[in-house]
Amino acid sequence: MRVPNVLPPFTTTRALIDRLDEWINAFTQWYLPLRREPSPQGGLDWKFSSETPEALQLAKAVRAATSIRGALLLADAGMTTEAGSLLRMTADFAHEIIAVAEGLMAGRMTTAQQEFVDQFFAPLASTPEQLESMGKQYYVRREQLFAAHQRIAEKTTGEVDLLRQTTRFLNYGYDKYVHGAYPTAMELFTGRTNTFLLRGHESARNRA
């Protein structure tokens, strides 16, 4: 059966994304006032008054909201591969929010969770020379944070293996867009004109 070349409305998805501003701005009220401090590049930077795990979650939620909205805009414009790359970022932000939440719910942070929070709020290098002087940086790995997801599954559904397999498979697919895997380039080819669709995919099925 031929699939209609009409993009589904995704009414519920769009409605939920439209409410992200409302929800995140409501959470933001708990962390006001923010403070401003001098930036190494000049000017002033906004900072949380208290750089806590909860503040990290809010910051990650801000980036999750903008990335998923950006992905939707790109999908609407037919830029399917770029939408996939942004969805990978969205998934990472959600993954990190949940990993930190597990430590907060348990009333204690593991070494990996606390290190992740500390690294998030650590000052960034402001010059190439400063970055060089910092030496090699070792960041908390995705697998270390995923241990928190597994602990949640153990206490709730018990489906630890299913969670691990499903998460790994989703990341596997999204990673292909981030790294420009072979199929993601060929996804943009059309036999109709024997060209690559560099200004957006023409197929509604691909945009969905």
Mean of the pLDDT values across residues 176-191?
A: 95
- By percentage, how much of the chain surpasses pLDDT 90? 85
Contact yes or no for 137/187 (Cβ under 8 A): no
Q: What is the pLDDT of residue 9?
A: 75
pLDDT tops 50 at residue 1:
no
Task: Confirm whether pTM is higher than 0.95.
Answer: no
Q: In the prediction, which pLDDT does 10 show?
A: 84
Listed residue (62, 37, 57) closest to 49, CA to CA: 37
Q: How confident is the model at residue 207 (pLDDT cuts 50, 70, 90)?
A: low
pLDDT band at 119 (very low <50, low <70, confident <90, very high): very high
Please write the tens of the pLDDT for every residue from 53-89: 999 999 999 999 999 999 999 999 999 999 999 999 9
- Please state the rounded mean pLDDT for residues 115-124: 96
**How high is the pLDDT of residue 48?**
97
Please check the confidence at residue 32 and state whether its pLDDT lies above 60.
yes
Instruction: Report d(CA 84, CA 74) in Å as an integer.
Output: 9
Question: Average per-residue pLDDT in the chain?
Answer: 92
Residue 123 or residue 3, greater confidence: 123
> Which of 16-25, 62-71, 197-206 shows the lowest per-residue confidence on average (mean pLDDT)?
197-206
- The residue behind tokens 């409501």 is 26
* CB atoms closer than 10 angstroms to residue 59: 18
Please determine, for residue 8, whether its predicted confidence score (pLDDT) is greater than 80. no
Q: Is the dihedral of CA 192, 193, 194, 197 positive or negative?
A: negative
